[in-house]
Structure 1
Amino acid sequence: MATASRESPPAVWLASVFGFVKAGFLAFMGIIGVVTWDDVTEPWGIGALVLAALFALASFGLLRGSSAARIVLAALAVVGGVMALVYVFVGPTSAILPSLVTAALDAVLVWLLYGSRGARAFFGS
């Protein structure tokens, strides 16, 4: 008897790609942070590497159809978006636009996971 396989809808696939891209970016920044550990006032490289691993694992789980991965990826996006919005007000003026773009991309990721019809049907919510 053949088993039916569920293919990810485009919104879930795109959300997973967003997660993998963010994981790659965070891994790159984490490597830079570890390499320049002695030259920076606040070491942040290990934290970026941990976040990169979480994003990569959640994105992989999302492609596999895991509801838990959906929750983890959305939670990471919400936390990242809130932190970006806070940084708009406490960071330097040169960080306003990048922080707003980061917050907007995190909002798009949450919408892809919970707002799109395809994702809701795929996860049964």
Structure 2
Amino acid sequence: MEATARELPFPVWLAAIFGFAKAGFLALMGVIGVLAWNGVSDPWGIGSLIMAALFGIASYMLMRGNRVARIVLAALAVIGGVTAIVFAFIGPTSAILPSITTAVLDAIVLWLLYGVRSSKEYFGT
């Protein structure tokens, strides 16, 4: 018998694309951080590269319909959103708008994964 594959709903696909975009951005920032290691007071390049890898792997697995990847990507979005909100208050004033934008994008990912009916149906929740 041939198994029928379920089609990936658009909201889940879009959440994975957001994850890939964030992974690419974090990877770029990680490379910059590693290259500027001696010139910065707080080295953050390795952490950024690790987060990029986690986002990339979770996004790839989400595109394959993995339920655990949904949870991991949501957890990474929560961590990123909370970190962005905190940085909006403790960072420089030039970081307020980018931090709020990051938090909003993380909230959109959470909504796409858990708030849309087609996503809930696809993952069986």
TM-score, length basis structure 2? 0.98
Deviation of 1:7 after TM superposition, in Å, equals: 1.3
Shift in Å at residue 2 of structure 1? 1.7
- Where in structure 1 are there 5+ consecutive unaligned residues? none
RMSD, aligned CA: 0.5
Counterpart-to-counterpart distance in 2, 1:89 and 1:46: 24
The letter of the residue matching 2:93 is T
Which 4+ residue blocks in structure 1 deviate beyond 4 angstroms?
none
- What is the aligned partner in structure 1 of residue 50 from structure 2? 50
Residue identity in the other structure for 2:41: T
Q: Distance in 1 between matches of 2:88 and 2:44?
A: 19
Report what 2:96 is aligned to. Answer: 96
What's the counterpart of residue 31 of structure 2? 31
- In the TM superposition, 1:3-82 aligns within 5 A as 3-82=3-82
CA shift digits 1:24-62 (9 cap, x unpaired): 000000000001111110100000000000000000110
Q: Return the letter of the residue paired with 1:78.
A: V
Shift of 1:73: 0.2
Q: What residue in structure 1 maps to residue 107 of structure 2? A: 107
Q: Percent of aligned pairs with the same residue?
A: 62
2: CA distance between counterparts of 1:116 and 1:57? 23
Number of matched pairs: 125
Any stretches of 5+ residues in structure 2 without a counterpart?
none
